[in-house]
Structure 1
């Protein structure tokens, strides 16, 4: 794999950050109907968190509502090497916490204001020492936080519409054996919109859209590595980097049907525009014999759009207690082993979730557990010009899984 300007150095493998859908997007951090694997969240009126998916749903909530979410995530990724498994295997184990807050304020009979503060995505990987890919990646972390104000207008008893603004903050740092990318942060803007249609008391439908949000990181490099410029192979010492990454656009269709006083079923279909992430721009500034030079190390990604399908159900066993369960499936954005990288080995995903909610006075407490099976992801870097010796190229597979435990308090 070659860039247009130079032979790819190991630093270029850091450009694919662990963010967003079908990578490690933390949708669990903004679940509304916890325990249903996100199914029907865009039309759920029992939690203010549903305005994250579709702000138009707050027109069908009565009065004011506040929800606080808390989550603990156990992320594990294991690498199994097919060339020399006895010494080259690696594993990453990380525990991550998050919190979010959502508020719905009724301004008039037809107008509602929504305020959300939550993570839009992000995660981290920290592989074991001396694993096969230590020159490509040892540690990477990304944190995002978003403030999302929105307004919803109820047209009539059946229809509502809404718009909102995404104000996004992101912070990133990465490390491999011989290089550190300094911790950097960036602000970015986007928008979201939604519509909800309730043709009957039993059935509610919602359609929403969140725009792409792009981040640009600029920072220093502390590295013993560099790159060679064609045609003569002049060596460049790298001093600074510039990198772009994105939270891609997401469209959501949610539905909820109240079968009777005890049973309800929910479903969700989402489209994630990962085909928009055909490459990750990355460039370096450095010096050659005391002269400033720039190098383009844009990394081809060639991802496909992702489809997410979710279905769930809830059963009210008493007026104060409700049990919930759900499952979801996401297609893979990249099935080519030669395009995989160790910072976000990505494939299809399955999630299984269970939960319960209970009333505590006038407040509602939700609790859930979820298991995400990230499956097996093959990687084959053999034959690529990565600027690395063959014993540092990866030829094997990753297996990943996540455990989530979370709660929400709505009052």
Structure 2
């Protein structure tokens, strides 16, 4: 069902294209739009992006990421008839802990949300046959180990255990809530000098397979007459793509650092959303598949970290993500995707031995045209997300 990977992210965090990921939930350096996260060592959260960073974090470090997102999506049909909008406010919490096992080995335990959202367009908009309401979310447990090869070089490896949750409602049917586990791995390497660092990391693809009970509504059939509500099973897939991250940091002076990251998201694996069902496949209430034909996505992030005085540091960052699909005839209402721009600011301070990082980010999801003549859906989606959060490290 077209809801799989649903509206944005987030999913994040992944996002995630990247709109399906919610990477904000796993930011290590809050306020830089993710720039330099693969080499940042001031918070334990960096172990999620690159496990090799743990070798440079000292004896022990624990970070709690907290965040609230405010999502807005608006649909405007070309004929101005059947518009729709969705507004969602969702919290997110993640816990990241790193501890030194011996002189050369660190252990990391990461747990938190990596993507998801909940939207409610209602049943009066033009795309109600594709989506009324949806809940999609995923949480992950990511244990990892890092190994110090030399004083400057470290490597790391970890396991990804994902749990995804899915529930959807359209004008033709609604599903029960269903969950599914998926497994993968991640790995990374880091080289650190006094004034600069570079890190390279990899996260494998995760694929969820859902089989949910669905109930169709009483409605008029395509040849006239009334179709009675029926129950059956509907199955579909949801993926989190392979991600490769290259991060660099450079200290211009003791107060100012430049941060950058380039990420590759292998969304070409998301060529289609397969849908298969048993009791309801004889009627055109549920499409038998949605062609995505997505391209791979590149994300470019640039940020700064400025130590204003002994008590405060200021952050700023910007990121741009390429579009996985520019053809309006291949967009669908569950996940309209295009170019994405993120603008972020933040500040950090200390309260005794506790580090506090605060940030605000605005994600501009742009305007995405959709032209699905078969479903008689023709218009454009406009979306944006406000993120506000704080990371606490001790």
TM range (shorter): over 0.9
Report runs of 4+ in structure 1 exceeding 3 Å deviation.
Answer: 12-16, 225-229, 235-238
- Contact 2:215 2:230 survives alignment (8 Å): no
For 1:243, the equivalent position in structure 2 comes to 236
Moved more, 127-136 or 242-251: 127-136
For 2:382, the equivalent position in structure 1 comes to 399
Structure 1 Cα separation of the partners of residues 281 and 36 of structure 2: 57
> Cα gap change, 1:225/1:283 in structure 2, threshold over 3 Å: closer, same or farther?
farther
Structure 2 Cα separation of the partners of residues 370 and 404 of structure 1: 5
Structure 2 Cα separation of the partners of residues 16 and 196 of structure 1: 32
- Contact 2:357 2:392 survives alignment (8 Å): yes
For 1:17, the equivalent position in structure 2 comes to 6
- Contact 1:15 1:282 survives alignment (8 Å): no
Moved more, 268-277 or 298-307: 298-307
Structure 1 Cα separation of the partners of residues 250 and 64 of structure 2: 26
5 Å-filtered alignment, 1:50-129, equals: 50-83=46-79, 85=80, 87-129=81-123
Which of 356, 360, 372 does residue 369 from structure 1 map onto? Answer: 360
SS at match of 1:257: strand
Structure 2 Cα separation of the partners of residues 218 and 104 of structure 1: 36
TM-score using structure 1 length? 0.88
Structure 1 Cα separation of the partners of residues 93 and 288 of structure 2: 36
Which of 306, 309, 324 does residue 333 from structure 1 map onto? Answer: 324
SS at match of 2:350: strand
How far 1:395 moved relative to its partner? 0.8
Quick check: 1:351 aligned with 2:345? Answer: no
Q: Which runs of 5+ in 2 are unaligned?
A: 223-227
> Cα gap change, 1:363/1:17 in structure 2, threshold over 3 Å: closer, same or farther?
same
Structure 1 Cα separation of the partners of residues 229 and 91 of structure 2: 40
SS at match of 2:115: coil
Structure 2 Cα separation of the partners of residues 44 and 209 of structure 1: 16
5 Å-filtered alignment, 1:130-149, equals: 130-149=124-143
Quick check: 1:299 aligned with 2:290? Answer: yes
Moved more, 156-165 or 295-304: 295-304
The structure with the larger Rg is 1
TM-score using structure 2 length? 0.92
For 2:186, the equivalent position in structure 1 comes to 192
For 2:393, the equivalent position in structure 1 comes to 410
How far 1:298 moved relative to its partner? 2.8
How far 1:236 moved relative to its partner? 11
For 1:177, the equivalent position in structure 2 comes to 171
> Cα gap change, 1:54/1:409 in structure 2, threshold over 3 Å: closer, same or farther?
same
Which of 286, 289, 294 does residue 279 from structure 2 map onto? Answer: 286
How far 1:243 moved relative to its partner? 1.0
Which of 347, 351, 355 does residue 360 from structure 1 map onto? Answer: 351
Count of residue pairs brought into register by the alignment: 380
- Contact 1:217 1:242 survives alignment (8 Å): yes
